[in-house]
Structure 1
Amino acid sequence: MRRVQPLKLSALAASVALALCALWPVTASAGLFDDEEARKAIVELRNRFEQSQQRQAQYEETERKAQVAQLAELTEQVSVLRRSLLDLNAQMETLRAEVAKLRGTDEQLAQANKDLARELADLQRRHKDAMAAIDDRIRRLEPQRVSLDGKDAVVDAPEKKAYDEAIGILRKGEFAHAATALAAFQKRFPSSAYNGHVQYWLGNALYGKGEVKEAMAIFRSLVSSTPDHPRASEALLALANCQIELKDPKGARKTLEELIANYPQSEAAQAGRERIKQIK
């Protein structure tokens, strides 16, 4: 099973640093923390982060063991069915031999053959249905190949299911619920091939629920961390829209100029050229 490489430690450290900056703003006049309190806060945050990572690892190990157990159970079921089929085939052969030995009229022999054929056909149908059901259950547990903006990626079945469910919620316009589902996906699958797309759609969900500044931070983070991502140009356009809504035309113009300069051939850049003409 091929997996995407985990996020680099430096990116995690940067996220922690950003979180500290967001949670503990310090001004010259406030004087809320001295050096000792700051160190304690950092240690506590680091401990919480490490505990979260440990819980995540334990959860993933439990998931893996459960999948292995399910596969083993299904394999055993297949073996049992195969043995049953062999036994039934042996019984059918015995029945054929007994029928051949029967003495009676041609009608009796013909009826016996019809019954035998009917039983055999029914047995084959039931065996086919059982095998199809088992194959379907096994297929649901196997990694799946998906296309993300024209690029192929391999993801686990639970991973694809969680992503599809979150996007389905977003498409219904349930932005608060969608934001929660997308954030939960990031925590559950930190190394997923879906993560860039999840980040983009999380920004849209936050914007939809009115958290414009939070959406801006998500869009900027996507562009900064993965500038070559297929959604990076759209993230810049969305960022400019947020700035326009917050009455920051200067910032919006700068973002649109960045979009046009870095992604000149993108559809987002074309829209940005029209948008920049409207900014006064």
Structure 2
Amino acid sequence: MKRSALLAALAAASLFTATAQAALFEDDEARRAIIELRQRVEQQRQGLAEELRRGNEELRRGNEELRRATEENATLRRSLLDLQGQIEALRSELARLRGADEQLTRDLSELQRRQRDVVTSVEERLRKFEPAQVNVDGKDITVEPSEQRDFESALAAFRKGDFVASQVAFGEFLKRYPNSGYRPTALFWIGNAQYANRDYRGAIANFRALLQQAPDHPRAPEAVLSIANCQIELKDNASARRTLDDLVKAYPQSEAASAARERLARLR
């Protein structure tokens, strides 16, 4: 009995010891596992903390860059606004200058027009006092303005049929301008005015003066024919025939010569 109890007690003690050893082994394993787990967690924590630090640093740098970009953008906007203001100012100045240029162009054009008017006026005034070249009976001559005016006035009176005034005007003209280029033509017209006023002898004298001074004058054949007409009016047919014969001989191709032939036929 006692032995059996002892054996039982020994067996129980052995079992307790084995169980205690097994439990002690399991506690060590668990402790190591916990330590390893803690180490891994700590490493992960440290890794996350490092990543978080790096993320914060990058975020800080990003915020700094964003701030600088924002400032630069604001500066750029201000610069653009200033530039736009300068451009508008330049446009306004350009428009003003264009307006001023257009006004100057108009003023210059007006000034040039006035200058031309003044020059034209002065030239017209000077022409009244300067010699002018005119064509009379197919010949170019140079005459003074007053000389041209007096000749045209005398001729205008003849054309109006005022032969008395024309004769007086041409007589005064010949006295006032004895060397005028108009002289042969003036002699022709004063002779015609005298013929119209029945001053046949005075007309013959002036027609002959024309022939003596300018025998090649375009009016010379008509002057000879006019002398014959005056002689006919004076009933001096013999002299008229001689004058008409001289006309045909001296100017055979002229219209006056044709008229002279017809009158010779009637006088014979």
TM-score by length of structure 2 reads 0.60
Distance 1:230 1:121 in 2: 50
Distance 1:123 1:254 in 2: 70
SS in 2 for 1:141: coil
Is the Cα–Cα contact under 8 Å of residues 167 and 193 in structure 2 kept in the other structure? yes
Match of 2:129 among 127, 135, 141: 141
Q: Does the alignment pair 1:239 with 2:193?
A: no
Distance 2:99 2:118 in 1: 29
Distance 1:214 1:274 in 2: 25
SS in 2 for 1:153: strand
Task: Give the alignment of 1:184-263 within 5 angstroms.
Answer: 184-263=172-251
Deviation at 1:109, TM superposition (A): 4.9
Q: Which has the higher helix share?
A: 2
Paired AA for residue 193 in structure 1 = G
SS in 1 for 2:128: helix
In the alignment, what sits opposite 2:14? none
Distance 1:108 1:153 in 2: 59
Paired AA for residue 165 in structure 1 = S
Q: Give the structure with higher Rg (CA).
A: 2
Gaps of 5+ in 1: 1-101
Deviation at 1:205, TM superposition (A): 0.5
What is the aligned-residue RMSD (CA, Å)? 2.3
Task: Give the alignment of 1:5-84 within 5 angstroms.
Answer: none
Deviation at 1:264, TM superposition (A): 1.6
Segment of structure 1 superposing worse, 245-254 or 146-155: 146-155
Is the Cα–Cα contact under 8 Å of residues 138 and 218 in structure 2 kept in the other structure? no
Deviation at 1:248, TM superposition (A): 2.0
User: 1:120-149: CA deviations, max 9, x gaps?
Assistant: 322222112111211222233222222233
Distance 1:103 1:235 in 2: 84
Percent pairwise identity: 43
Distance 1:209 1:148 in 2: 25
Aligned length, in residue pairs:
179
Deviation at 1:113, TM superposition (A): 4.1
- Structure number with the bigger relative contact order (C-alpha 8 A, sep ≥ 6) is 1
In the alignment, what sits opposite 1:156? 144
Segment of structure 1 superposing worse, 103-112 or 211-220: 103-112
Distance 2:260 2:118 in 1: 56
In the alignment, what sits opposite 1:53? none
SS in 2 for 1:173: coil
SS in 2 for 1:146: strand
The alpha-carbon distance between structure 1 residues 123 and 103, as it changes in their structure 2 partners (threshold 3 A), is: farther
Match of 1:122 among 106, 110, 122: 110
Segment of structure 1 superposing worse, 144-153 or 261-270: 144-153
SS in 1 for 2:114: helix
Distance 2:136 2:100 in 1: 59
Distance 1:209 1:105 in 2: 83
Off by >6 Å, runs of 4+ in structure 1: none
Distance 2:213 2:133 in 1: 25
SS in 1 for 2:133: strand
Deviation at 1:270, TM superposition (A): 1.3
In the alignment, what sits opposite 1:171? 159
Distance 1:243 1:147 in 2: 32
User: 1:24-49: CA deviations, max 9, x gaps?
Assistant: xxxxxxxxxxxxxxxxxxxxxxxxxx
